[in-house]
Copies of this chain bind each other. A is one copy, B any other.
């Protein structure tokens, strides 16, 4: 077998998701995942440290994409607008893989240890956003508040994207969530008209 396998990583992830869904996460072994993907265990371990990492490897990529997008936003952009753009920029990580994301969510929701790990990864994303805002000169306390709100909107957007019957892109849900926040956190319309 050749050492280099075209998209071995993607094939291993797809195989893992199929087996997790069919047999459950706990009952699936690395050997079974490798076999199901038509690859060896050795190849598996070149890409992932264990079967749990198959579920969470994407979190680091997401963090990197968001961090890069925050750093590259226009200098004058305000913190929440920066986060909106950065989260929307992660859309390409999600849109092609909605079915995988659904299975992944189901697998994680069914296992308390995986649920807790998922939450830890999400908090790491909030920290990444806060630090990237600070790098732009935003005060630490303001950056943390914006990042916490950004994480909340990420979670709300993701939940809507996952079950959207119209299958709209993740970016569209991100923009809609931020727009909804602006609408619900503004002063009541009557007051604005009176001023």
Which single residue of chain B is at the shortest CB-CB distance from A156? B145
Tell whether A49 is near chain B: CB-to-CB under 8 Å.
Answer: no
Report whether over half of chain A's contact residues are helix, strand or loop; otherwise say mixed. Answer: helix
Tell whether A149 is near chain B: CB-to-CB under 8 Å.
Answer: yes
Q: How far is the CB of A79 from chain B (nearest CB, A)?
A: 6
How does the 8 Å CB contact mask read for A119-162 relative to B, with 1 for contact and 0 for none? 11011000000000000000001101110111111011001100
- Rounded to whole angstroms, the CA-CA distance of A188 and B152 in the bound complex is 22
Residue from the list B120, B152, B156 in contact with A115, Cβ < 8 A: B120
- Of residues 88 to 111 in A, which have CB atoms within 8 Å of B's CB atoms? none
Segment among A14-22, A58-66, A179-187 that sits at the interface with chain B: A179-187
- Of residues 164 to 195 in A, which have CB atoms within 8 Å of B's CB atoms? 177, 180-182, 184-188, 192
Asked if A78 and B184 sit within 8 Å, CB to CB, the answer is: yes
Say yes or no: A149-B153 contact (C-beta < 8 A), given A185-B181, A192-B192: yes
Asked if A184 and B152 sit within 8 Å, CB to CB, the answer is: no
Residues of B within 8 A of A177 (CB): 145
Residues of B within 8 A of A184 (CB): 78-80, 142, 145-146
- Rounded to whole angstroms, the CA-CA distance of A153 and B148 in the bound complex is 7
Asked if B152 and A149 sit within 8 Å, CB to CB, the answer is: yes
Tell whether A52 is near chain B: CB-to-CB under 8 Å.
Answer: no
